């Protein structure tokens, strides 16, 4: 038994079931447990560099100047380091240094004159982790100097082990007049292991993206083996060097007509042309209230000729107006997975169009938003044609259903679909007097499903635990996989 409890293979299987808190505690038992637990923690958690180095404006700059900060990093605990550097602290296992989180969120505590000097010196004194880093999250970037310091750190230490970089621009980001010169960016060593990059910019800061474009482009150009790129914000990278890119995700946010940056599908088409021979998955999301009629200027550039290897497509549009912009597409028989976000209030022949465009789909994920009104005809137009697909699996999520007739109509339509079917009605708001008479229909149409879930929002009246318990025996005895946890209430208050 004792040998089994020190076997790394057995321990990893057991520890993988533990919570993070229990996993940390298990490290205290013995050396073997510490080694296995540290390995799992290193793969699933991030070492917060800002907590390793306490940002105390009274003494931090002095510690950097006299070199004592390097010793602090070598001995720092994964938990927040005590303010008193003389306290006994445990050593950080090398396996915990694989994933780092770096932020300039707390840099505001440091005087501006010293801030970037401190950060640069702090990071360049961490040579002992330079080749074990696997993943980096750079959060709350508020000034370009911080981004430049980050690249200089990679360049100076010749770091080449990074596999994933995630960068988030701060909502407090600002543009300084002197943040112009391109020559200040360092040249990075080739990042042969870097396969995944993610950029995120908050809606309110879209106008600052041009300031960071060079920063983003340097990272992309340094990664010849990049396979996944995820971008939130109107930023158009040059992907000429990304010959192995398989997954490309764009999420464009644009709420104002007067914003300096707008969605330009001509440029987007050129970007897709650069990766046409490798791209297998495209995710496109647009959030905005403007009427993007410019889409009609581009026709038939998303097809088997322009994206011959495309297998997976995700498309979402939020804001006023819904369109799958079918003029952009020609028939694509290679697409096998489609994920779409849609509104039940949108007229048109969505179902017929999407089946004609992508006839070979085997898996379908569908998110529907309900905003009241007479939706039955729209439901039929959207869902009935999807029965023509030879599906293996379909997962549908429906938000804010308020009438039982809408809920039952959706289930009735999906009953005719092929393959495994699941539907989840999220944040439902249905009165019990309306719901109760439709229960027999729901059971009748729902028996061929893998699962039907109805849930409400716990912050609203449509969480009625007593009513849920009252209905439970009926559904359990029916043989239909219906699970109601909320969303149905006796009355609305």
433 near 467, Cβ under 8 Å? no
Res. 263: pLDDT tops 90: no
* pLDDT value of position 119: 63
Q: Hey, which residues does 312 pair with through a beta bridge?
A: 281, 337
What percentage of the chain has pLDDT greater than the value 70? 63
More confident: 350 or 144: 350
Q: Hey, which residues does 281 pair with through a beta bridge?
A: 247, 312
Q: What is the pLDDT of residues 151-196, one digit of tens each?
A: 888 887 788 889 999 988 766 665 544 444 555 778 899 999 999 9
* pLDDT value of position 87: 31
Distance separating alpha carbons of residues 325 and 315, to the nearest angstrom? 10
Helix axes 144-157, 209-221, angle to 10 degrees: 10
* pLDDT value of position 465: 79
Rg (CA), the chain: 27
- What lies within 8 Å, CB to CB, of 204 at 6+ separation is 171
104 near 91, Cβ under 8 Å? no
Helix axes 350-357, 376-383, angle to 10 degrees: 10
Instruction: Determine the average pLDDT of the residues in 38-66.
Output: 62
* pLDDT value of position 203: 62
Res. 91: pLDDT tops 60: no
Q: Which residue carries 């490309």 as its tokens? A: 248
Res. 436: pLDDT tops 80: yes
More confident: 431 or 258: 431
Q: Hey, which residues does 222 pair with through a beta bridge?
A: none
Per-residue pLDDT band for 58 (boundaries 50, 70, 90) equals low
- What lies within 8 Å, CB to CB, of 160 at 6+ separation is 131, 189, 190, 191, 192, 193
195 near 216, Cβ under 8 Å? no
Distance separating alpha carbons of residues 372 and 356, to the nearest angstrom? 29
The DSSP secondary-structure symbol of 417 reads S
Distance separating alpha carbons of residues 476 and 483, to the nearest angstrom? 9
227 near 195, Cβ under 8 Å? yes
Per-residue pLDDT band for 244 (boundaries 50, 70, 90) equals very high
Res. 422: pLDDT tops 90: yes
More confident: 347 or 343: 343
Distance separating alpha carbons of residues 92 and 86, to the nearest angstrom? 17
- 172-185 per-residue burial string, b: 16 or more CB within 10 A, e: under 16: ebeeeeebeeeeeb
The DSSP secondary-structure symbol of 319 reads S
Instruction: Determine the average pLDDT of the residues in 61-67.
Output: 54
Q: What tokens does 112 get?
A: 């501006």
* pLDDT value of position 264: 74
* pLDDT value of position 126: 59
372 near 398, Cβ under 8 Å? no
Distance separating alpha carbons of residues 15 and 26, to the nearest angstrom? 8
Sign of the Cα torsion 236, 343, 449, 387 reads negative
Per-residue pLDDT band for 92 (boundaries 50, 70, 90) equals low
* Segment among 30-39, 45-54, 88-97, 330-339 with least mean pLDDT: 88-97
Neighbours of 159 (CB within 10 A): 22
Q: Which among 80, 88, 78 has a CA at the least distance from the CA of 56? A: 80
3-class secondary structure, 395: strand
* Helix residue spans in 350-453 (DSSP H): 350-357, 376-383, 404-414, 432-435, 439-446
Tell me the Ramachandran region of residue 29: left when phi exceeds 0, alpha when psi lies from -120 to 50, beta otherwise: alpha
More confident: 323 or 468: 468
Instruction: Determine the average pLDDT of the residues in 117-123.
Output: 61
Q: What is the pLDDT of residues 369-399, one digit of tens each?
A: 886 666 888 899 899 999 999 999 999 999 9
Q: Which among 184, 174, 175, 107 has a CA at the least distance from the CA of 138? A: 107
Sign of the Cα torsion 198, 201, 206, 212 reads negative
- 289-299 per-residue burial string, b: 16 or more CB within 10 A, e: under 16: ebebeeeeebe
Per-residue pLDDT band for 136 (boundaries 50, 70, 90) equals confident
* Helix residue spans in 171-264 (DSSP H): 209-221
Per-residue pLDDT band for 105 (boundaries 50, 70, 90) equals low
- What lies within 8 Å, CB to CB, of 182 at 6+ separation is 214
Q: What is the pLDDT of residues 448-488, one digit of tens each?
A: 999 999 999 866 656 677 888 999 999 999 999 999 999 99
Res. 295: pLDDT tops 50: no
């Amino acid at each position: 038994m004792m040998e089994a409890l020190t076997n790394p293979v057995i321990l990893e299987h057991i520890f993988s079931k533990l919570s993070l808190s229990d996993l940390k505690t298990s490290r205290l038992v013995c050396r073997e447990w510490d080694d296995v637990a540290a390995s799992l923690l290193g793969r699933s958690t991030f070492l917060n560099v800002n907590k390793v180095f306490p940002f105390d404006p009274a003494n931090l700059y002095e510690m950097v100047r006299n070199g004592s900060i390097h010793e602090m990093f070598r001995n720092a605990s994964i938990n927040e380091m005590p303010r008193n550097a003389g306290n006994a602290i445990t050593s950080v296992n090398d396996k915990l240094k694989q994933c780092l989180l770096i932020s300039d969120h707390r840099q505001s505590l440091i005087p501006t004159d010293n801030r970037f000097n401190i950060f640069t010196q702090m990071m360049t004194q961490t040579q002992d982790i330079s080749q074990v880093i696997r993943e980096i999250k750079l959060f709350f970037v508020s000034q370009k100097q911080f981004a430049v310091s980050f690249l200089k750190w990679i360049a100076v230490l010749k770091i080449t082990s990074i596999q994933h970089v995630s960068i988030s621009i701060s909502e407090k980001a600002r543009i300084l007049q002197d943040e112009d010169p391109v020559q200040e960016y360092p040249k990075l060593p080739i990042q042969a292991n870097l396969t995944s990059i993610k950029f995120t910019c908050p809606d309110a800061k879209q106008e600052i993206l041009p300031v960071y474009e060079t920063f983003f482009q340097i990272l992309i150009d340094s990664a010849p083996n990049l396979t996944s790129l995820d971008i939130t914000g109107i930023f158009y990278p040059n992907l000429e060097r990304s010959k192995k890119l398989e997954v490309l995700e764009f999420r464009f946010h644009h709420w104002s007509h007067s914003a300096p940056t707008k969605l330009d599908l001509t440029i987007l088409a050129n970007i897709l042309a650069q990766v046409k021979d490798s791209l297998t998955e495209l995710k496109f999301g647009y959030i905005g209230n403007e009427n993007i009629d410019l889409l009609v200027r581009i026709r038939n550039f998303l097809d088997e000729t322009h994206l011959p290897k495309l297998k997976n497509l995700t498309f979402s549009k939020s804001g006023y107006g819904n369109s799958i912009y079918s003029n952009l597409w020609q028939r694509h028989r290679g697409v096998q997975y489609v994920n779409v976000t849609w509104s039940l209030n949108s007229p048109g022949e969505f179902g017929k169009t999407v089946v004609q465009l992508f006839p070979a789909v085997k898996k379908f994920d569908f998110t529907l938003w309900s905003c009241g009104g007479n939706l039955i005809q729209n439901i039929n137009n959207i869902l009935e044609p999807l029965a023509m697909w030879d599906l293996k699996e379909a997962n549908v999520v429906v938000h804010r259903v308020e009438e039982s007739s809408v809920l039952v109509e959706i289930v009735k339509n999906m009953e005719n679909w092929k393959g495994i079917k699941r539907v989840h009605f999220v944040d439902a708001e249905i009165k019990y007097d309306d719901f109760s008479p439709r229960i027999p229909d729901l059971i009748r149409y729902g028996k061929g499903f893998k699962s039907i879930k109805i849930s409400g929002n716990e912050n609203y009246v449509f969480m009625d635990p007593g009513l849920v318990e009252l209905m439970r025996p009926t559904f359990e005895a029916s043989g239909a996989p219906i699970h109601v946890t909320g969303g149905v209430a006796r009355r609305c208050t």
